[in-house]
A and B are shown apart, each in its own frame.
Chain A
């Protein structure tokens, strides 16, 4: 994963060196070309290049979109560590990450969708269907690797269905994925007649319950997917096109980007990550359940939005989304530790989501 580390490194680098960079940035105001009128402008240019400290700081912070989310997460952790002694324990942290992993995996796919200014409500149901398909395949005697791939393909097929309907028939994603949400759930229930599948062998259970170097497998999978998808968003044409399509579909089209092709790919990808989440969840629970993942799509969308991915499209990072998923997890965990009534927990989580969207729209209003 040498290359996969790049985005992370960049992120850190930009955090540390940003101030310096802004000061000596080679690109700060290109003046080679502009300077033909001589020295009288030079003085003014110097001044332009040295904005005040406050401004530099604001600029630096503005660059790392998810910095506020990260600060929010840290603050939350600090407060909770004072409120409950068990919060800071290694075991609790491992728990928080574990809780965040399924949501995080779903949210990665959703992040691509939201960046391209779409929405995917079907991931919770796709998760269940993929889990069931994998479970069926395993109990039917299919080898592990094949069954897992089969499960992921199922997710991908659902996503492809979404993508094709949305692009070919020019339908709003909200409606189409709402339909798929019901269809996939129905198929999952139909195929097991409402029952669940269990009795998996240890190899399959390792996916959700095993550990590598003390790190739970779901967390390992989340991290790998996060690195891979960060890389895709930043360093591939596909990733760049996601931003372009979400920012301005018509500009993208006139720039030669096929919305049909790429949106279909994006929804397919979201389906695949939902499939992965379904397999991991089935393994973790030691059973594939057709009612798994109900309303998970909401938490996945929330993670992305809390992490700074704008529902208007065109902006967002996987890094932010993971922070968002962690925030939801930390809130849950903290409330559990503090014995907060689980009904009240719903209210709190809902409020946090609304707050995040408010911040997003406020930020947008501020800049226009």
Chain B
């Protein structure tokens, strides 16, 4: 990338405050044509806010934005689109009841004489999807697609029109590795066309693969910008330096695994089946161990967890706790039996966005704040403040609606909620999705404390390093079956993947 070309986007001295929060404090950021500029920072650092200012969702309090050298004012999303800025938001933003094609062309439907040209819309969408190597039918309703494919529809939407800059805010948090590959191919194509890409992710390894430059924010402030590569394309940047820039200290250990001697069996799942997915799964988990559930997206891991806690109807099999067969008809029964499930989709299943931080945290364990038949709001505040402190949830107060928290901080609230529920057996489904590197380590430490306190933990995760780093035993799922179990010592990334994709033989 040559320095003689002027940047397409320059943002300087940008500040933005929300009630009680200074989200951005005099930051700068620029994008050159054809580069991938990675934006890094802890949860709540202000990454999404800056990008929403660029895409016209928020208006800046102060500062200047220049596009191709000209100062512009972006008052709304239309203005930004007009300037050739496209964004894929951190949270999915599709209309579920509409078809894929309608979502791709929303607001810009091809028309002939004022009437929507449906045929053109569907053929063009299909062309676009095929070009991205996606096996998605443009006629399908978005709600029928798995999350990963929905995310790819967002990508298709963003690239559907000529753009100068495309912003991707954590596009990969719900993608499978195959989809990530496709995304990166797409990004490289865009780069060749001279499109500037802003890329936000908490997965640092992606930065090394795709990034050209990286800028770090901390607490709403600009910390610095670095080149990722040398002139010859080799990696120049040290991840440790970046982490220090992000969190203000270095992390000595990414996976602080502590080993305990497992005790007696606490949970046993026998031949569990559901109509949709599960084909008879059996598992046994012991006190003091962390069990990892690995597999590709759609392998049935979430379905297994949901079946255990009674969220979905089972068609066969049973669940035992301490040798006793449980009758679980709904999640309430599971919670009463001491089994908690932290769902993977924080917005749809984990949070009540209208309620504040404290009320979300105490929702499941509400019994714990009842005294004399009434809720003790004082106790609630105290408990919530404790957890907010422990997990370092960034929020102006515990009475802030969770809607206004940054994505990662919302995720931390979900974690806090299930910690507060105080279940003996905890199933975490993608617990660190969207959480920054520093906070991940905090959560891993917490997992250690949990098992140390005699609880049983199961982690469902698509991040193999996380599973390999934290679990004592690893079960691999494929197509609704548990196909293999590994002990920690025997597990490797390759071996797990082989079983996950069915290439073990």
Residues of A within 8 A of B (CB): 3, 22, 25-30, 32-34, 36-38, 40-41, 44-45, 47-48, 51-52, 55-56, 58-59, 62-63, 234-237, 240, 243-244, 246-248, 250-258, 314-315, 367-368
Cβ of B170 < 8 Å from any Cβ of A?
no
Residues on the B chain within 8 Å of A59, using CB? 19-20
**Cross-chain contact A30 with B393 (CB below 8 angstroms):** yes
Contact partners of A48 in chain B: CB under 8 A: 20-22, 220, 396
Closest 3 CB pairs of A and B: A37-B248, A314-B354, A247-B352
Given contacts A243-B352, A253-B311, whether A33 and B389 have CB atoms under 8 Å apart is yes
B residues contacting A by CB (< 8 A) are 17, 19-22, 25, 219-221, 247-249, 309, 311, 330-332, 334-336, 341, 343, 348-355, 359, 363-364, 366, 370, 373-375, 377, 381, 385, 388-390, 392-399, 403-404, 417
A37-B249, A257-B332 given; name 7 further pairs at CB < 8 Å.
A36-B249, A48-B22, A48-B396, A244-B359, A255-B331, A258-B330, A315-B354
A30 touching B366, Cβ below 8 Å: no
- A44 adjacent to B220 (CB under 8 Å): yes
Q: Is the CB of B396 within 8 A of A47?
A: no
Chain A interface mostly helix, strand, loop or mixed? helix
17 cross-chain CB contacts under 8 A = A29-B395, A30-B385, A30-B389, A32-B389, A41-B248, A48-B22, A51-B22, A55-B20, A63-B399, A235-B374, A240-B359, A243-B352, A247-B352, A251-B349, A251-B351, A254-B350, A256-B336
A51 to B336 CA separation, bound complex (whole angstroms): 44
Chain A residue numbers with a CB within 8 Å of B352 are 243-244, 247-248, 251-252, 314
Min Cβ gap A67→B in Å is 15
Complex interface: chain A residues within 8 A of B373 (CB): 236
User: How many inter-chain contacts with C-beta < 8 Å in the A-B complex?
Assistant: 139
- CB-CB nearest in chain A for B363: A255
Q: How far is the CA of A257 from the CA of B404 in the complex (A)?
A: 24
Q: Nearest chain-B residue to A243 (Cβ)?
A: B355
Set B22, B348, B366, B389: member contacting A240, Cβ < 8 A: B366
- Residues from chain B with a CB closer than 8 A to the CB of A255 are 331, 335, 363-364, 417
CB nearest neighbor in A for B401: A367
A234 to B375, CA, bound (A): 8
In the complex, which of the residues A28, A250, A256 contacts B364, with contact meaning CB atoms closer than 8 Å? A256
Contact present for A29 and B396 (CB under 8 Å): yes
Would you give the shortest CB distance from B380 to chain A, in whole angstroms? 10
Residue of B nearest to A314 (CB): B354
Which of B21, B332, B354 is packed against the most chain A CB atoms within 10 Å?
A: B354
User: Which residues of the partner chain B approach A45 to less than 8 Å between Cβ atoms?
Assistant: 219
With a cutoff of 8 Å between Cβ atoms, the chain A residues found around residue B403 in the complex are 367-368
The answer to whether A258 touches B350 (Cβ under 8 A) is no
Which residue of the partner chain A has the closest CB to B352?
Answer: A247
